[in-house]
Structure 1
């Protein structure tokens, strides 16, 4: 009869030997990895306003859709998450569905951008890009896909300029910022944003990244790096890991005044629900959204909980409102294998019906 202590010792020895093999494989794998690249789909610049650039993606075949689809991403991260790599690309999936896909790249703000307002992002950059696409394509209204914070900005634009949008799609977009399970919102509501912005000017990217990492400190600061040991013998898996790490920490600073407005009117004031979002003197009223709206949320999202997104249903003015939940988290909805199969086809199918 084998002693349980002997069995435990044997298991520990086997685990130690496996770890040693993984570390040895890592010494061979890592030197050959080199720098990782992102953005697999060819693109061309079609419009620019300062640091903000509008890109058109070029698919393997010409688009069959006659209405452009503009992606507006969040200000707090770089937008190449939607085109991260060959097998993880929302853009590639949309192109394969025949869409004519464009993306606003916000660039990297510096001190010269310190006093830009939400009005600049909504009525200058987003509206300028949309006007360019309307003129270039010869259509009166285009389709917009707003993602995360970019979805909130797109909702504001749609309320101010509803005649310029044919269809609006929001993805993992916060609408009710005061749901009980929104940990980030609970933190932010207690921050003196005036003091923060008056002291720092633009808000450093490192401060923003630290805030996000501390939402799940063990998982995001320890567990994932322990998990890295299991893939050290797989060069492709290591490249995937490093590519994601590069995106996480490749964050722009946040423009001081626009950040102040967004935190105060959205996170602290919960303006979509309570009212009080004012852009260039105009109050945002989501009842102005009479165009069809598709709202996509992630069922395990810790940054934008499902209820925070689904609140949109009761606020829009359109009767053509659709809502779709996908399994996964805030990032998984772009990069998981399930998302690659389901999200682009769901968007394209919904647009085709309209």
Structure 2
């Protein structure tokens, strides 16, 4: 990737502030893009970062040349039905009263969606012999759990 230009990695570590919302992550990405003063960005988002990349693209499309999503957790083909349910069930008031969901709970929900994938991921991790490879392969631990 570096042969095509500069590469920047924006990682979403555990935030101590419990009221930090997904919108805040998106605005942090926008803040970084603004500070770099770069246009025609090839934005790549992985997993939940894919959803953050989509939101960033919606808010600043003139800066994003291409948008690539890797294992983005939501399938938007059913969005029409979700909008219909939202409209008919009037979910806004119920959602507004929910507490903020900690990131570790969101991660657990993704694992529950694909339990076989998680099992395969664990098998792959434990087959790795090098400490450096384990650190790289299982780095999500920093992202999913509160630091001790």
TM-score range relative to shorter protein:
0.5 to 0.7
Structure 1 residues 100, 212: closer, same or farther in 2, change over 3 A?
A: same
**Superposition deviation, residue 125 in structure 1:** 0.6
Q: Specify every segment of 5 or more residues in structure 1 that has no aligned partner in the other structure, as ranges.
A: 1-93, 180-192, 232-236, 255-354
Q: Does 1:125 align with 2:31?
A: no
CA distance in 1, matches of 2:107, 2:63: 33
Structure 1 residues 224, 119: closer, same or farther in 2, change over 3 A?
A: closer
More strand by share: 1
Q: Specify every segment of 5 or more residues in structure 2 that has no aligned partner in the other structure, as ranges.
A: 79-93
Provide TM-score, normalisation by structure 2: 0.61
Contact 1:145 1:151 (C-alpha < 8 Å) held by counterparts:
yes
CA distance in 1, matches of 2:57, 2:118: 39
Provide TM-score, normalisation by structure 1: 0.29
**Superposition deviation, residue 128 in structure 1:** 0.6
**Superposition deviation, residue 108 in structure 1:** 1.8
Contact 2:50 2:69 (C-alpha < 8 Å) held by counterparts:
yes
Which of the numbers 119, 129, 133 marks the counterpart of 1:238?
A: 129
For 1:261-318, what per-residue CA distance to the aligned partner results, in whole angstroms no more than 9, with x for missing partners? xxxxxxxxxxxxxxxxxxxxxxxxxxxxxxxxxxxxxxxxxxxxxxxxxxxxxxxxxx
CA distance in 2, matches of 1:126, 1:218: 28
Alignment of 1:153-172 (within 5 A): 153-172=52-71
Contact 1:133 1:142 (C-alpha < 8 Å) held by counterparts:
no
CA distance in 1, matches of 2:110, 2:47: 17
Larger Rg: 1
More helix by share: 2
